[in-house]
């Protein structure tokens, strides 16, 4: 809880080691995050709908219902993503931007990409990737029906966390010469679950049971999408950083959430 969210859960010197050891339980924290975000989204949607409907009645005698409904849900969707980003502390966003920074550097060695990606700056590619992912995430939240928003966000966050676990389960850390302190966090998590199929099965079962119970076949396919994103990001990590590091974990969370929501909206 302390590692994945800003919820005050208490931390000491061993919290990182403990978080890594229990990485297979990430989907459970994802379920909680999704539930909190879903409750927030549901009430925000309803409150803003009532507020904008009142404004429409006062200003236009109710003649602009579609426009005001669109504005209310659009604002609620943006606020929901903002709530999620604040709840998780923007740490995954930082990883997404760093991956974008590295992707924008074509003619460079892996070590140079690592160094540039972690400079205190945001390249055009890093900013573009973050804005693109967030734009589509807001759009997809907008398209989710209000009466299923809680279930959808729970499933999306569980899938996002399963994608991270998938990266650790099948991914490899970058070569030792690239470690330094910046890779220590990612290496701890990979070491805790890599090739440990029993732990991964627990993580997968948690995600599947909750997702299928809430959304049936759609939930199942959203979880599968999360697994596929995790596999894809292993390939990206190997190409960009020489392996899976903390930035890849963070980017995986943001991208997998978006893909899971896309699957749910389509179905």
Q: At what angle do helices 149-170 and 197-241 cross, to 10 degrees?
A: 80
Is 69 within a domain? no
Full residue range of the structural domain in which residue 222 is found: 16-30+90-266
Q: How many CB atoms lie within 10 A of CB 266?
A: 10
Report d(CA 197, CA 146) in Å as an integer.
Answer: 37
Question: Structurally, how many domains does the chain consist of?
Answer: 1
Is 129 within a domain? yes
Is 80 within a domain? no
Q: Would you state the pLDDT for residue 142?
A: 97
What are 100-157's pLDDT values in tens digits?
888 877 656 666 666 666 665 677 888 899 999 999 999 999 999 999 999 999 999 9
Is 55 within a domain? no
What are 106-118's pLDDT values in tens digits?
656 666 666 666 6
DSSP codes of every residue in 155-205: HHHHHHHHHHHHHHHH--PPPGGG-TGGGHHHHHHHHHHTT-HHHHHHHHH
């Amino acid at each position: 809880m302390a590692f994945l969210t800003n919820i005050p859960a208490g931390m000491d010197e061993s919290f990182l080691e403990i978080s890594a050891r229990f990485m297979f339980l990430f989907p459970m924290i994802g379920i909680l995050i999704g539930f909190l975000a879903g409750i927030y989204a549901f009430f925000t949607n309803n409150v803003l709908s009532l507020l904008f409907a009142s404004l429409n009645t006062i200003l236009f005698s109710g003649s602009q219902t579609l426009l005001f409904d669109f504005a209310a849900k659009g604002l609620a969707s943006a606020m929901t993503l903002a709530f999620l980003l604040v709840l998780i502390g923007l740490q995954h966003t930082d990883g997404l931007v760093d991956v974008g920074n590295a992707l924008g550097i074509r003619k460079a060695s892996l070590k140079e990409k690592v160094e540039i990606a972690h400079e205190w700056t945001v390249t055009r590619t890093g900013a573009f990737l973050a804005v693109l992912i967030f734009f589509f995430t807001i759009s997809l939240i907008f398209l989710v029906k209000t009466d299923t928003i809680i279930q959808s966000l729970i499933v999306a966050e569980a899938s996002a966390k399963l994608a991270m676990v998938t990266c650790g389960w099948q991914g490899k850390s970058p070569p030792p010469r690239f470690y330094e302190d910046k890779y220590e966090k990612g290496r701890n998590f990979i070491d805790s679950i890599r090739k440990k199929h029993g732990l991964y099965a627990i993580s997968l079962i948690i995600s599947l049971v909750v997702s299928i119970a809430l959304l049936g076949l759609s939930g199942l396919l959203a979880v599968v999408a999360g697994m596929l994103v995790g596999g894809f990001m292993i390939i990206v990590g190997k190409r960009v950083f020489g392996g899976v590091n903390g930035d890849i974990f963070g980017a995986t969370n943001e991208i997998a959430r978006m893909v899971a929501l896309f699957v749910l909206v389509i179905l």
